[in-house]
Amino acid sequence: MKLSKEGELFICDLSGYLLTKGVSDKQRLEFIEEAEAHLLEAEANGKTVQDVFGEHPKQYADELSREMNVEKGWIYYLPLVFFSFVAYTLMTPAIRGELSFSLLGIIGYPVIFVVNSILLIIGVRTSSFRSKWKGFAILYLFLFVTCITTLIVALVDRFIMEPIIVVDGAYRWLVVASCLLFFTLVAWKEKSWIWIGVPLILTGPKIILEVIGIQGEASLLIESVTTFGLLAILFLYDSKRSPKEVSNA
């Protein structure tokens, strides 16, 4: 027997919310597995999520997070996300042979990372415990904002600022290989396609369109539709995995 759609959404939201609160992975996954089993039994007896966890799930999650230990959450994931961000910003220009660093890039990207991290945390918390499509729309909006802020810095860095460091020749392919290896290792360690899927989706369509010679407005349209569509599919696929599947993968 499986959880209802409402039950699945609640479990996914609760897991993501506790993650943004910095709850340790061990405690979070253990509790989510117990909560899932408890909810499954309750639904079999005709009860709803509200009957089991109350009418205010966000308040319940806040109270729950205060009772749990903050260990691996921030200490582990913030550096992981930071180096993922760095690897992504390096990989695409390295492939094109345009990898260089200006003063704005050296200072601006770390600042953008901090701002986007805060926005992402707010996005996950804001989208939790809402209807499926409303929550997805809110989270997608925050992701869109983080992409736009990064793009603005990247464009100013590329077209206005003068580079002070240039990486070319064999060194740029070493950068590409290092980035791909990093994403692959993280995806394997975290048992999630998100870590390698997102950078490949964000860079792949643009590179493929350039190789086959599609340019201009057609290129921009195809790239936008393809990128956002593939990201939506990837996040929906990853969200359907239960915490138990993730912990046992």
Specify the DSSP element, H or E, that contains 187.
helix 170-190
Q: Specify the pLDDT at position 23.
A: 74
Domain ranges of the chain: 5-66
* Structure tokens, 234: 């990837």
pLDDT at position 238: 67
Dist CA 160 CA 166 (whole Å): 16
Taking the CA atoms of 76, 79, 82 and 83 in sequence, report the sign of the dihedral they define.
Answer: negative
Residue 73 has what pLDDT?
52
- pTM of full prediction above 0.85: no
Which pLDDT belongs to residue 38?
Answer: 83
C-alpha pair distances (Å), 130 with each of 25, 58, 96, 108, 217 = 23, 10, 42, 34, 36
Low-confidence ranges of the chain (pLDDT < 50): 242-243, 249
- Would you state the pLDDT for residue 52? 81
- Residue 69 has a pLDDT of 63
